[in-house]
Structure 1
Amino acid sequence: MSSASHDLTETPATAAAGRTYAIRTYGCQMNVHDSERLSGLLEAAGYVRAADQSGQDADLVVFNTCAVRENADNRLYGNLSHLVPVKNARPGMQIAVGGCLAQKDQQEVLRKAPNVDVVFGTHNLASLPVLLERARHNAQAQVEIVESLQNFPSDLPSRRDSAFSAWVSVSVGCDNTCTFCIVPSLRGKETDRRPGEVLAEIEALVADGVSEITLLGQNVNSYGRSFGDRFAFGKLLRACGSIDGLERVRFTSPHPRDFTTDVIEAMAETPNVCPQLHMPLQSGSDTVLRAMRRSYRRDRYLQIIDEVRAAMPDAAITTDIIVGFPAETEADFEQTLDVVRRARFTSAFTFQYSPRPGTPAAAMTEQIPKAVVQQRYDRLITLQDEISWETNKQLVGREVEVLVSTGPGKKDNANGRVSGRARDGRLVHVEVGGNDIQSGDVVRSRVSYAAPHHLVADGALLQHRRARRVTAPATATVDAGRPLLSIGPRP
């Protein structure tokens, strides 16, 4: 559906020149990456990033929304209502709503929040500057939603939050039909980028000073299906290993159904692919997995864990778990706890089930009482925290390499520490001892203390390596005219 067509040759830069913007992002890493693209588009159109990203002082506030959690609607409309007096006091201020909730609600956004100027869908990122100018010129709200991806937005400018880490999408959309998830109906069927296009973007990012990239997809393991190469993701990881200057490669999220041995081998044999795996479990009960329409079972999931640890003994494995799915019994929940004990996850993103309108699970009759869900959730958190702490304590005394993301002087680092991620993804606070450490630098130290959710390395630095500095801004585009590298079907 699209209530407005547009000509992308329009140039709203003159009208936007000097206007400030703020983007408020909710949801997954895909939304974070989309917000970086929106920032790049707005700055290319003449907007300037506001110092305060709360939106209170910006000429434009963009909400990039999520529709996965039950309270997503309440959060959005509550935040929009708070901006009513702000907008009334600032003639010319604009508000735009995009992302999954905009794709889902469409015209409903304007009905509930008439102070919104633009509503755009998950496939309409490039339209935003033109829609804003049209709304301003016509003094009328603009809505543009298309139901499926027309062109992969790889050529959009991007303003990254980090000069040294970047997201790179390998696909958009999802072909799975999990009964609790609304994402496939909002982001569409899976569409894969050609490997050469992905690698071209990575090379451009590395030339711009990036040393760490995270490959993004709703299901990265099924990457290559659309162009007939079921081994494409493993080969893409290996190809990343040949890019000079690329020090760290991560990816999220794989689906256990499609996890294959060649990907494990590529992870273990490619030096810059980090020993880290985030693989959603959702439930440890085969009965619940069946009701969720998750096409794997607990034994297969644990087998993958064993294979990963056999190839990479020090790999940090994290997961997603949903508590209180409809009809989940106490016995079902105990099976989830059993898998958690056996898998020994480094950490887990845990969620209390909430029904999303439009999903099959929302219509299931045996919804679990809130008090029961909360009690189970608390037990899961307690168990996972114990395991996380135990596994982190095993690292005390070991060397750790940290890519620094936060320098001294921040609230959490007033004691002279810097923060960053180890190669396995753990958060580490490192004492700098008077050394001039900047974001993007790599330091090596020894772990002196372990907490459930972070490590501390206090002591003399064992190594300090300066980040590559480039003069170009933290933006990247891909040359759409570059020939695509062919990674053909594996024999």
Structure 2
Amino acid sequence: MTRTYEVRTYGCQMNVHDSERLSGLLETAGYEPVGAGTPDLVVFNTCAVRENADNKLYGNLGHVASVKAAHPGMQIAVGGCLAQKDRDTITRRAPYVDVVFGTHNIGSLPVLLERARVAEESQVEILESLEVFPSTLPTKRDSVFAAWVSISVGCNNTCTFCIVPALRGKEKDRRPGDVLAEIEALVADGVVEVTLLGQNVNAYGVEFGDSQAFAKLLRACGRIEGLERVRFTSPHPKDFTDDVIAAMAETPTVMPQLHMPLQSGSDRVLRAMRRSYRREKFLGIIDRVRAAMPDAAITTDIIVGFPGETEEDFVQTLEVVRAARFTSAFTFQYSRRPGTPAADLPDQLPKAVVQERYDRLVEVVDEVAWAEARTQEGRVVELLVSDHEGKKDGATRRLTGRARDNRLVHFVPGEHEIRPGDVVDVRITRAAPHHLVSDDLPIGVRRTRAGDAWESRQGRTEVRTVGLGMPALGVPAPLPPAPSCAT
């Protein structure tokens, strides 16, 4: 009998992409996604960044354990960053878990599951370094026409609050030719939008000694016929250079959108975080991006309540939020994570103080975001229609799409037959802090090959493999030189 599976994903875009690989691996091994009923396998792809990550995992494991007790033969697997960190703790606290695997060996999951079934005991396999680049593994993409493309894994930074480098390892860069070959294969498969993915994308090239490799890669993506939109996440302010800004502004398929993590607006706190840039440099990057791309939408990450943060430090963060005019921000209360330098810092702040500052931060972020959103009212924007974002409104039959600057827009299709992957032009009629609305009929509708691909795949599951991207020794063939740009 065919076994069914379910993957539950927590954390960042890298985890989402890893889960696409896990699904592809399982379906290649003969599993099917669960429909109604109880799956034969539940895979937890975990995150270790937040303080309550382990509590959430063990709570969810406890619930699934009771289901497993009633379904002999059911298996549970735990992977991802928390598995990499707490390998032995998981099987001690949850002995009913069948497989524990880490961030460096997701390709081992099917074999480990079979070993656990035959041996009738838990299998734990955690590798300390990457053996196979994830892009060599089968993939089941969430979207037919949009895809993640990893350009690097790991991180060479030493931020005191972050445990990711310890779990994902040092940065490993894919060779440019392999990245571009994967994108070309995706485009041939109906993809029109790719997001270049890495822990620190603009450090790309550090392994093969090319400081302009990321800007060259963006320009090379712009020459791929049929690729309409290129995005990337996440850059680091310390590595963000003017050649990247020029490549963004001069490459029409690179979208006018930038996610630039701030973390704090206080130089003193940034120094304690070991963030290697200061407030003035951060705002200077924002100014230069807007000078080159006046309509660019800029988002960020902010941590409130870092050890030793004073009221003055916090106010400086609010000042940067107002000055930078972020269209949105991912806001976090500082989490004390064992194994990070910040966990041992003095002056850990009381929960009540952190919560009060967090509430004030969210209020200012929403105020600024709404003001920025209102500047879009009356504008005509181009949307790539989504297949699994937003909600259809029963009364208005609204659909959802992403604008070029990545804003979420709900729109009325009227009598048009619009498919996910098609492109529409709509006029924005009103704004909310976290989305835009068009209550007018579309101004234009373009049926695309991405929409054709979506339509042809309905009712079918396809797993794709791109056999490229093995880390290798030596310097890769260079990309064409980037044109000179003013600095």
Q: Which residue of 1 aligns with 2:95?
A: 114
Aligned partner of 1:486 in structure 2 is 478
Residues 1:368 and 2:368 aligned together? no
Coordinate RMSD, CA, aligned: 1.9
Q: Is the 8 A contact 1:205 1:476 kept in 2?
A: no
Q: Which residue of 1 aligns with 2:370?
A: 389
Question: By how many angstroms is 1:438 displaced?
Answer: 1.4
For 2:145, the equivalent position in structure 1 comes to: 164
Return the offset for 1:476: 3.0
Superposed CA deviations along residues 355-382 of structure 1, whole A, max 9, x for unmatched, are 0010010111201111111111111111
Counterpart residue identity of residue 478, structure 2: S
Q: Is the 8 A contact 1:248 1:274 kept in 2?
A: yes
Q: Shift of residue 385 of structure 1?
A: 0.6
Give the match's secondary structure for 2:465.
Answer: coil
Instruction: Quote the offset at 1:51 in angstroms.
Output: 2.1
- Report the alpha carbon displacement of residue 440 of structure 1 after superposing the two structures with TM: 1.1
Deviation at 1:411, TM superposition (A): 5.0
Partner SS for 1:400: strand
Asked if 1:22 corresponds to 2:6, the answer is yes
**Amino acid in the other structure paired with 1:144:** E
CA contact (8 A) 2:49 2:337 kept: yes
Distance of aligned partners of 1:306 and 1:474 in 2 relative to their CA distance in 1, 3 Å threshold: farther
What is the aligned-residue identity percentage? 69
Residues 90-489 of structure 1 mapped to structure 2, 5 A cutoff: 90-406=71-387, 410=391, 412=393, 415-468=396-449, 469-470=452-453, 474-480=462-468, 486-487=478-479
Identify if the C-alpha distance between structure 1 residues 295 and 474 changes in structure 2 by more than 3 Å, giving closer, same or farther.
farther
Q: How many Å separate the matches in 1 of 2:321 and 2:447? A: 39
Q: Which runs of 5+ in 2 are unaligned?
A: none
User: The residue matched to 1:308 in structure 2 has which SS?
Assistant: helix
TM superposition shift of 1:486: 3.4
1:487 counterpart letter in structure 2: L
SS at match of 1:83: helix
> What is the CA–CA distance in structure 2 between the aligned matches of 1:406 and 1:479, rounded to whole Å?
27
Aligned length: 472
Q: Note the C-alpha offset of 1:406.
A: 3.8
> Distance in 2 between the 1:414 and 1:377 partners?
36
Structure 1 residue 485: Cα displacement? 5.5
Q: Relative to structure 1, is the Cα distance of residues 463 and 130 closer, same or farther in structure 2, using a 3 angstrom cutoff?
A: same
CA distance in 2, matches of 1:263, 1:474: 35
Aligned-pair distance for 1:434?
2.3
Q: Give me the whole-angstrom Cα distance separating, in 2, the residues matched to 1:286 and 1:233.
A: 27
Q: Please, which runs of 5 or more residues in structure 1 have no aligned partner?
A: 1-16
| Higher deviation after alignment, 340-349 or 399-408 | 399-408
Q: Once the two structures are superposed, what CA deviation does each residue of 1:9-29 show, in whole Å capped at 9, x if it has no partner?
A: xxxxxxxx6100000000000
Distance 1:410 1:315 in 2: 26
Q: TM-score, normalised by structure 2?
A: 0.94
Structure 2 residue matching 1:429: 3-state secondary structure: strand
Determine the C-alpha separation between the residues in 2 that align with 1:369 and 1:201: 48
Q: What's the counterpart of residue 11 of structure 1?
A: none
CA contact (8 A) 2:6 2:33 kept: yes
Structure-2 separation of matches of 1:476 and 1:157? 6
> How far apart are the structure 2 equivalents of 1:365 and 1:237?
43
Q: 1:45 — aligned with what?
A: 29
What does the per-residue CA deviation read over 1:215-259, in whole Å, with 9 as the maximum and x for residues that have no partner?
001101100010110100000000000111111100000000000
